[in-house]
Amino acid sequence: MDTTGRLTSERRAQAWQRLLALGAGEFAHVNGSLAAHLHGTEALLRRWGAREALCLAALYHAVYGTDGITGSLASLGARRRIAELIGGEAEGIVYLYGACARDQFHPRIGSPDEVRFADRYTGTEYPIDEARLRDFCELSVANELELAFGNGAFRAKHRASLRELFDRMAPHLSEPARTAYRRRLG
């Protein structure tokens, strides 16, 4: 293995151990533990060929909590420590994902207003550029598909709304993500 691959593997292993130390294995989630969900979301993005920063962000995407999860593994005061562990780019994606005020921002996706992000932590709105929107959409699809893969009831309940959201996200998604959601959600 080359030096880059070894460093990537070591960083990922350290990040995983830190997640477990934060309690991700005991944190209840839709299909079991939050740790299993985070690992599964990361694995999907790796299969889709996502870059390392997005994969590490997937591993940590709910560390600060999300609009769909009550509780968190770390406070926003830990952002610098998380960035040191997974890298600044990955931590920025994690923050964005956790900060999303879904009821305000999701309906904007696919419209001219999609460039205005709604941040639930600050209660503010601000511009989101195309690269960050792509990362947000790709991570969102991986997150929801990981839940749908392992839970038929979740899939049945949310299939139509997820398909509608993902269809609006499609221009921002990689081909593997588009193929995966279309295959899984019909």
Query: What is the CB-side half-sphere exposure of residue 42 using CA atoms within 13 A?
Result: 23
pLDDT digits (tens, 9 = 90+) for 121-166: 999 999 999 999 999 999 999 999 998 887 788 888 999 999 999 9
Q: Which domains are present in the chain?
A: 3-185 (1.10.3210)
pLDDT over 90 at 10, yes or no: no
Please give the pLDDT value at position 159.
Answer: 94
pLDDT above 90 coverage of the chain, percent:
75
Burial of 140 (0-12, 13-18, 19+ CB in 10 A): buried
Least Cα distance to 30 among 129, 161, 150 occurs for 150
Question: Do 61 and 147 meet the contact criterion of CB atoms below 8 Å apart?
Answer: no
Q: For the residues 103-117, what does the mean pLDDT come to?
A: 97
Residue 32: how many other CB atoms lie within 10 Å: 13
Please give the pLDDT value at position 97.
Answer: 98
pLDDT above 70 coverage of the chain, percent:
94
Question: Do 125 and 119 meet the contact criterion of CB atoms below 8 Å apart?
Answer: yes
pLDDT over 80 at 8, yes or no: no
